[in-house]
Amino acid sequence: MSDEVIEAKNVSKWYGAFRALTDINLTVRKGERIVICGPSGSGKSTLIRCVNRLEAHQDGEITVTGIRLHNKMRNVAEVRKSVGMVFQHFNLFPHMTVLMNCMAAPMWIKGVPEGEARKIALKFLERVRIPEQANKYPAQLSGGQQQRVAIARSLCMEPAVMLFDEPTSSLDPEMVAEVLETVTGLARDGMTMVCVTHEMGFARAVADRVIFMDRGEIVEEGTPHDFFRNPQHERTKLFLSQILSH
């Protein structure tokens, strides 16, 4: 078996007449850490949402952990089991405790017995360093804590790859650090991840590759060193000058 976790070939997507993605080619190998950046509306979120089929692509093919996502495939659940996703707005289940948020998927999807699921949940809550909040409800937690719970919730399914959709964009500045630290910790432990973010410091420190998207296309792709020091395209330079100037 090859070690390609995600493989996208010539992927295109339209919203009506608007072309959201244009011929995207992207390969993510096991253990790779990819950061996608770009101006708003450039299709970065759309791309990673296509990977776990929260959005459907219309052209090209996407293969995730060896399973090909094509238009008629109904069993997307298989893919979703092995792809974790963290959202900008956390999307925790507000009517469940933190612990239950983490136990739900293993119990209901994998059929893990309750005691076992509790152990798994506590293990990952420990890992995001909030085991003491286990019995609280999401509304009682700060934004940063909620996002860490959301990360733990995804980890409980022991996914092959984690997708982060602007995980820090709706957080107060002082909480960004704790979430990024958690994500960095995961990266260091070898988790395969694709992260859409505007945190360039994070990209520099963690990414194996940085991908710059604009108007639905991948404009430039490279190691953080090359990407930040020596951007090739005008659009990349403009974007970097805007984002790094302040």
28 DSSP β-pair partners? 6
Among 153, 179, 187, 211, binds another protein (CB under 8 A): 153
The enclosing H or E element of 20 equals strand 18-29
How would you class 117 by CB atoms within 10 Å of its CB: exposed for 0-12, middle for 13-18, buried for 19 or more?
Answer: buried
| Residues within window 33-92 making contact with another protein, judged by CB under 8 A | 52, 54, 77, 80-81, 83-85, 87, 89, 91-92
Give ∠ CA 203-120-142 in degrees, rounded to 5: 55
Looking at beta carbons only, is 96 or 177 nearer to another protein? 96
The structure tokens 């990407």 sit at 227
Binding flag, residue 13, another protein (CB under 8 A): no
> Which tokens hold the place of 42?
């450039």
Q: Are 165 and 45 in contact (CB under 8 A)?
A: yes
CB of 113 to another protein, least distance (A): 17
Nearest distance, CB of residue 163 and another protein, angstroms? 8
From residue 104 to residue 143, the character string flagging contacts with another protein as x (rule: CB under 8 A) and all else as - is xx--xx---------------------------xxxx---
- Residue 230: phi and psi, rounded to 5, are -140, 65
Q: Give the footprint of another protein on this chain (CB under 8 A).
A: 52, 54, 77, 80-81, 83-85, 87, 89, 91-96, 104-105, 108-109, 137-140, 150, 153-154, 157
